[in-house]
Amino acid sequence: MQRKKHSLYYALFLTIFGSILFIVLVRSYYDYDHTKHEVATELEAELKNTGSSLQKSVAGYVDSYAVNEYEKLVKHAMEDDDIAAILISDYNMANILGKKEYISGYIKDNKWHIREYDVQNIEQTKLLENAFFRETQELITSDGSLVGTISIYISDRHLNEQVQRIIVQNIVTSIVLAFLLVALIFFTMNAIILKPLLRMIKTIEESDHEGVPSEYLEEANSKELDTLTKAMNKMIASIRKSRERLKEQERNLVFQAHHDPLTGLPNRLLFQDRLTQGLKKADREKKRLAVFFIDLDHFKEVNDSYGHETGDILLQNIAQRLQGVIRAHDTLARLGGDEFTIIMENLGDSVDISNLAQKILNSLSSPVVVNGTILYVSSSIGISLYPNDANSVQDLLKYADTAMYKAKDEGRNNFQFYNAQLTQLALDRVVLEVSLREALRKGEFVVYFQPQIDTELGEICGMEALVRWQHPEKGLIFPDAFIPLAESTGLIVELDRYVMKVAMEQVFNWREQGLNPGVLAMNLSVKQLEHHDFIETFKRLMYAIGVKPEWIELEITESQLMRKPEDAIKVLQELSDLGVSLSVDDFGTGYSSFAYLKKLPISKLKIDKEFIQDIPKDEEDIAITKAIIVLAKSLNLKVLAEGVETRDQKEFLLREGCRFVQGYYYSKPVNVEQMEKMIIEGVEE
Amino acid sequence: MLLSIFLLPLHATEKSKLVYIVSDIEIPFWNIMSRGVIKQANELGYTVEVYSAQNNNKKELEALAKSIQKGIEGIILSPVSSSSAATLIKLAKKQNIPVVVADIGSESSDYISYISSDNRKGAYDIGKILARQFKQRGYNKSSSIGIIAIPQNRENGKLRTDGFLEALSEEDIKTADLKQQRDFSCQETYNFTKELLEKYPNIKALWLQGSNRYKGALKAFEELNREDVMLVTFDAEPEFSLLIEEGIIVGAAMQQPYLIGKEAVKVLDDYFHGKRIVKNIELPVLAISKENVVKNHKVIQTNVLGIVE
């Protein structure tokens, strides 16, 4: 429960009034005590005086048996207001009357009337007992004889009256004084503290919707309040500043949430928002709208070869170029990676669109210099239109993407408008992915082997294991149709492992049969290498089947190898340590660094078939092939040429020092049975 | 009821005891009064005992104590002083003993009755007698009177002076001076008389408020050869009848002590018998001069002098 809060006025009143009352009460008590003591002393002195003066006269009267005389004297003395009783013990009378004592005198009753003393009156006895003070003196005559005693009783009646008067006076004075002081202190406190405080409260209460005072506090008179005011103003200023900072941060956050940090372009979120708005506007104004989906060609290779830093600078550069090409009111966004989108509004006809697309292609085709490296970039552009193709954000983007793939398929560096057929293509991709998974589960993939020939000896020296998909409906499907999709979906890891297992089991079988299949070469995807448990899995598989490491050669493409060469070196070194041979596949198509090439634990280079197929017609290919062979020899590496289809090619290669070949000239990839036959019977030219 | 039965036979069969406490039985006035008390008590069937205080407070108190011890039933008191009377009355009252004060008076009023002489009237009457003599002798206005008074703090003294001066004032006679007695001696009266006559030669008369020291005054007259000065007194001595007849004393205001004593007993008797009591009784003072002395001889003999055959 919340305690009730009291006003400062209330607390102030209580404190001041209480304090003053306390002081005054203490003072009153002191006065009372002092006065009481003083009056009591006075009374005692008076009593002694009265006693002394009465004593002589009374003694004389007692001595002369003038009882009535001393009684009169006593009665007269009783008129003194302070005296409560005077009693004479008369020895002479006691003697005469034959009594133990004879006491006479006067006493004042409760109404302060003088009464004759009566020994037997209980009330009088009580009054005497309650007397404030008693003085008894002996009655001694002039000749020195003791004739009795005189006792004078003093009442505290007078004392109490006086003390009561003092108390009343003090209380009245105290209360008046207390109220005056309270009023004075109130007035002062009010002027100095409470009013300024109330002003402060009022100013603080007049705040904006976030509770921050709208105005700064006014200066106060007193030092402390002024300090408080300054502190409050400082706080208000600080709150305002931090609010500004927060707003700035919020703006930044909003910006960051809607923009790509690398290029500063709108991100997917903002793009979608802009597109939504654009669609509404286009709908209202009955205008057309185009969505461009731009994907850089071979950007992946740039990243792989030169690193992300270079790739990032290239992207920034591209963004700037695109920004320069589009119209002021068009929206350029980066969706991620090397994907850019443009929303083009207020379109006239498709010529405008084509012009822009061509401008983009032109703009991006000129080389970009990054850190001294000249990079050649091209792009593929897909375009979807509203309201022609679709009328939703998702569809427009999806169709532009599909069109972009069409452009890629069309050999890159071109733009394609979306049409309904493209949608079918995209659908096919999805269907294929599902089928891939299904095939893997059902074991529809089969391993084919293509023999590798030592041309010097004319013998099979090994074979490359290649995967084929034995589709139940479509028949045998070649890897080009499903490997890219398997790589992009990550299915390649599982597929590779499957192929490796089947191939190694076959090689083991042949060896068991006493055949010599030579070295088994198998493709290794970089995705496989990146898998943390690959080495362990491969090792277990190898030992489980029973194959020896020296029977195995793993091929990795040049482009994949150079993507993260440092990481590759580490994993490949482990594989090499196992005793497995390693070769670089498709050599010459990528951008190999010789420095890395030297460091890699490889034993073989495989010349890409691209360089072989036009030999001996193409002089350039001949030169490159020769150079690769020389390079391999200088690095003390074996060299194998792929795609050998003619005798000329075989002989050229042999002449140049490349004795190991693979290609249709000897055999296309074949199934197990055919391969087994070739191992037993040998190959024919 | 029981108390009445007990008291009634007591009164009827046995003689009730009374006490007369008197200041000084040696003084003729009190002596005469005591005889009146005894006479009347006997007549009414009471026994009475007389205690003289010898003008002493202590003896007076002792007398009372003795009386209380003896179980007396009533007191007639002629006190040493009106002050001492108050004490005695108070003590008696505590024992439920009724007190009748006979002359002198009391500062207490708790007595059943106070019987006294009409001092003022007596003094007034004697003043008038003196005034007549003044006129008869043809004294002029320069002539005056001297007074030797009993103490003026005594109530009877004051009354006597007041009554006397009133009479003189009516007759336009001046008073030269007033002397108050202290030791009541003959010598004192002699000295005062001498002083007055020497100091005021115009004094033609001297008034003594007491009678017993008249001889001191006469002696002074003789020595100063002023036998012409008239002497008047208050109270009387047995020889006064003769002295008045002879003209040695011009007049005397005579109290009746014998009558007072008798009256006191009568009042007590009335009290015992439940009769209504007069609280203050003033008996007349006889103003006796040469003219009426013979006529009042019998009254003077009994009531004033207590001489009863």
Answer whether residue A610 is part of any domain.
Answer: yes
Beta-strand runs (E) in chain B: 16-22, 46-52, 74-78, 99-102, 113-117, 144-149, 174-180, 203-208, 230-234, 251-254, 280-283, 286-289
| Smallest Cα distance from B154 to chain A, Å | 15
Q: What residues in B contact A61, CB-CB < 8 Å?
A: none
Integer Cα distance of A572 and A553 in angstroms:
12
Q: Which of A182, A179, A221, A180 lies closest to A199, judged by CA? A: A221
Answer whether residue A427 is part of any domain.
Answer: no
Q: Is the CB of A94 inside 8 Å of chain B's CB atoms?
A: no
Please report which confidence band the pLDDT of residue A33 belongs to, taking 50, 70 and 90 as the band edges: confident
Integer Cα distance of A583 and A563 in angstroms:
16
Q: What residues in A contact B85, CB-CB < 8 Å?
A: 68
Please report which confidence band the pLDDT of residue B12 belongs to, taking 50, 70 and 90 as the band edges: very low
Count how many domains chain A has. 4
The token pair that represents A84 in the structure block:
């409560």
Q: Which of A374, A390, A418 is the last residue of a domain?
A: A418
| pLDDT surpasses 50 at B147 | yes
Structure letter (DSSP) for residue A551: G
Judgement on whether residues A314 and A331 belong to the same structural domain of the protein: yes
CATH number for position A382: 3.30.70.270
The residues, any chain, with a CB within 8 Å of residue A661's CB and separated by 6 or more, are A452, A453, A455, A640, A641, A642, A644, A649, A650, A653
pLDDT digits (tens, 9 = 90+) for B169-204: 999 999 999 999 998 899 999 999 999 999 999 999
Answer yes or no: do A96 and B65 touch at CB < 8 A: yes
CATH number for position A117: 3.30.450
What integer pLDDT is reported at residue A593 of this predicted model? Answer: 66
Measured from the Cβ of residue A599, the count of other Cβ atoms closer than 10 Å reads: 15
| pLDDT surpasses 70 at B135 | yes
Of B62, B69, B107, the CB nearest to A68: B107
Judgement on whether residues A572 and A673 belong to the same structural domain of the protein: yes
Q: Is the CB of B177 inside 8 Å of chain A's CB atoms?
A: no
Q: Which of A383, A418, A453 is the last residue of a domain?
A: A418
Mean pLDDT within B47-59: 94
Answer whether residue A461 is part of any domain.
Answer: yes
Q: What residues in B contact A97, CB-CB < 8 Å?
A: 61, 65, 91
Integer Cα distance of B238 and B220 in angstroms:
22
Q: Which of A157, A150, A163 lies closest to A112, judged by CA? A: A157
Mean pLDDT within A625-645: 91
Judgement on whether residues A411 and A436 belong to the same structural domain of the protein: no
Query: If you measure CA to CA, which chain A residue comes closest to B90?
Result: A68
Answer whether residue A2 is part of any domain.
Answer: no
| pLDDT surpasses 50 at B13 | no
Residue type, A30: Y
Q: Is the CB of B110 inside 8 Å of chain A's CB atoms?
A: no
More confident residue, A558 or B69: B69
Best B57, B94, B95, B108 member to test A by mutation, with max A CBs in 10 Å, is B57
Answer yes or no: do B84 and A71 touch at CB < 8 A: no
> If DSSP states are collapsed to H, E and C, what string results for A630-666?
HHHHHCCCEEEEECCCCHHHHHHHHHHCCCEEECCCC
On average, the pLDDT of chain A sits at 86
Q: Which of A104, A130, A162 is the last residue of a domain?
A: A162
Choice among A333-347, A659-673, B4-18 with the minimum mean pLDDT: B4-18
Answer yes or no: do B83 and A72 touch at CB < 8 A: yes
Judgement on whether residues A572 and A610 belong to the same structural domain of the protein: yes
| Smallest Cα distance from B153 to chain A, Å | 14
Answer yes or no: do A67 and B84 touch at CB < 8 A: yes
What integer pLDDT is reported at residue A291 of this predicted model? Answer: 93
Answer yes or no: do A66 and B84 touch at CB < 8 A: yes
Of B57, B65, B108, the CB nearest to A97: B65
Q: Which of A265, A485, A482, A292 lies closest to A379, judged by CA? A: A292
Q: What residues in B contact A65, CB-CB < 8 Å?
A: 56-58, 60-61, 84
Answer whether residue A173 is part of any domain.
Answer: no
pLDDT digits (tens, 9 = 90+) for A419-469: 866 666 666 777 777 788 888 888 888 999 999 999 988 889 999 999 998
Share above pLDDT 70 across residues of chain B, in percent, rounded to a whole number: 95
Integer Cα distance of A443 and A131 in angstroms:
130
Judgement on whether residues A461 and A599 belong to the same structural domain of the protein: yes
pLDDT digits (tens, 9 = 90+) for A600-625: 888 899 998 888 988 888 888 899 89
Cβ atoms of B258 and B31 within 8 Å: the answer is no
Of A66, A97, A98, the CB nearest to B57: A66
Judgement on whether residues A88 and A216 belong to the same structural domain of the protein: no
Judgement on whether residues A438 and A534 belong to the same structural domain of the protein: yes
Q: Is the CB of B57 inside 8 Å of chain A's CB atoms?
A: yes
**Which CATH number does B2-111 carry?**
3.40.50.2300
Judgement on whether residues A561 and A648 belong to the same structural domain of the protein: yes
Answer yes or no: do A65 and B61 touch at CB < 8 A: yes
What integer pLDDT is reported at residue A349 of this predicted model? Answer: 63
| Smallest Cα distance from A94 to chain B, Å | 11
| Smallest Cα distance from B102 to chain A, Å | 18
Answer whether residue A505 is part of any domain.
Answer: yes
Crossing angle, helix A672-681 and helix A491-512, to 10 degrees?
40
* In chain B, where the domains are located: 2-111, 119-254
Judgement on whether residues A499 and A636 belong to the same structural domain of the protein: yes
Integer Cα distance of A133 and A131 in angstroms:
6
What integer pLDDT is reported at residue B66 of this predicted model? Answer: 95
Domain that holds residue A230: 211-257
Q: What residues in A contact B107, CB-CB < 8 Å?
A: 68, 72
Integer Cα distance of A83 and A107 in angstroms:
9
Answer whether residue A206 is part of any domain.
Answer: no
Integer Cα distance of A506 and A463 in angstroms:
12
- Counting one residue from A and one from B, how many pairs have CB atoms under 8 Å apart? 39
Answer yes or no: do A68 and B86 touch at CB < 8 A: yes
The residues, any chain, with a CB within 8 Å of residue B72's CB and separated by 6 or more, are B17, B18, B19, B49, B97
The fold of B119-254 is Rossmann fold (3.40.50)
Query: If you measure CA to CA, which chain B residue comes closest to A61?
Result: B57
Answer whether residue A339 is part of any domain.
Answer: yes
Phi, psi of A112 (to 5 degrees): 65, 30
Q: Which of A94, A77, A95 lies closest to A86, judged by CA? A: A77
